[in-house]
Amino acid sequence: MQKRIVLLITVLSFMLCGCAGKVPSSSASGQTESAEIGQSEKYTIELTERQKKILRDEGLPEEYDRLTDSQKNAIVKIERVLSYLEETYEDEFEYLGYVSGGLDGEYVTAKISDTLPEKIVTVYISYKNGEYTYSDNYEAKIAEEEYKKEITDFLSGYLDPADFQVYAEIRELRDAGESLVERAVGVPLILVNNVCSEEDVRAAAQAYAEWIAAMENKNGGGADFKVYKTDDYILMNEFNYRDYLANWIYELDVTVDAGDTINIEKYEP
């Protein structure tokens, strides 16, 4: 993911004032904190080295009192969110971006340090009754590797493991279910070497759909089986596979609706 820092933002309806030194004290994912609203900043606040680096990388002043109100608001919220993540999950995070609002709401994105490929965590910020509440997808991101392994193990009964790769992002984890595949909300991407016959790929896709339909708590789902020429397939890995996504020679789009009806459609470029 290209690193993008958004600090030159629209002034928010609610401004954080006089609270820059306060960080979350709770380790719960739904942690809240109070904020004072409606006052103007009257004094200089000493920023952390992390905050200064973020500002420096964006080409903004490192002195708090030289920032605009919207920039002050952003840099304070960013530090609070990063502190929340580190206190809650005892991990290290690298700041990636901040969005002040829009269709997806207000959120901060951060990378879990020293993870390859990158694992990007999104923390959504909500304000209600004088308090800020944070929610995040950290646990879903950590679970993605095991999620992919469960799918890989299942499909290995139908395709040679050397001839397919599984990539998946979990949008949400349900509370109910015996396995990650049952709990995960997301559409896995299965990339297949064309040495596999279409009959074998279709059989794997059908078996995957029936597997999902049999899960008590899954409530529907799907997958996308994309087939590639061998010359492309052997070059693809977890770091570069997105560069090849447009090169498929055909795909099987698998869907299972909430009533467990299975549909498999073949598409060609």
CATH of the domain at 208: 3.10.310
pLDDT at 44: 63
pLDDT at 8: 33
Q: Digits of tens for pLDDT over the chain (269 positions)?
A: 433 333 333 333 223 323 333 333 333 333 344 444 334 445 568 899 999 999 999 999 999 999 999 999 999 999 999 999 999 998 999 999 999 988 889 999 999 998 888 899 999 999 888 899 999 999 999 999 999 999 999 999 999 999 999 999 998 899 888 899 999 999 999 999 999 999 999 999 999 999 999 999 898 999 999 999 999 999 999 999 999 999 999 999 999 999 999 999 999 99
User: Both 129 and 230 in a single domain?
Assistant: no
Query: Of 136, 152, 184, which residue is a domain's last?
Result: 136
* Domain that includes residue 104, residue range: 32-136
* d(C-alpha 131, C-alpha 196), whole Å: 55
Beta 32-34 vs 93-99: how paired, if at all? unpaired
Within 8 A by CB and 6+ apart from 156, the residues are none
pLDDT at 48: 95
The answer to whether the pTM exceeds 0.75 is: no
User: Both 215 and 124 in a single domain?
Assistant: no
pLDDT at 101: 86
pLDDT at 171: 87
User: Both 127 and 163 in a single domain?
Assistant: no
Tell me whether residue 220 is in a domain: yes
User: Both 164 and 252 in a single domain?
Assistant: yes
CA–CA distances in Å: residue 70 to residues 34, 98, 108, 174: 19, 12, 15, 36
Within 8 A by CB and 6+ apart from 19, the residues are 35, 36, 76
Beta 221-228 vs 189-193: how paired, if at all? parallel
Within 8 A by CB and 6+ apart from 169, the residues are 144, 186
Instruction: Count how many domains the chain has.
Output: 2
User: Both 119 and 202 in a single domain?
Assistant: no
User: Both 118 and 232 in a single domain?
Assistant: no
Query: Pick from 245, 264, 253: which is nearest to 187 by CA?
Result: 253
Query: Of 114, 136, 158, which residue is a domain's last?
Result: 136
Query: Of 103, 136, 169, which residue is a domain's last?
Result: 136
Pair 91, 85: CB distance under 8 Å: yes
pLDDT at 220: 92
As to burial, measured by CB atoms within 10 angstroms (0-12 exposed, 13-18 middle, 19+ buried), residue 250 is: middle
User: Both 223 and 180 in a single domain?
Assistant: yes
* d(C-alpha 111, C-alpha 85), whole Å: 11
pLDDT at 42: 53
User: Both 153 and 261 in a single domain?
Assistant: yes
User: Both 184 and 212 in a single domain?
Assistant: yes
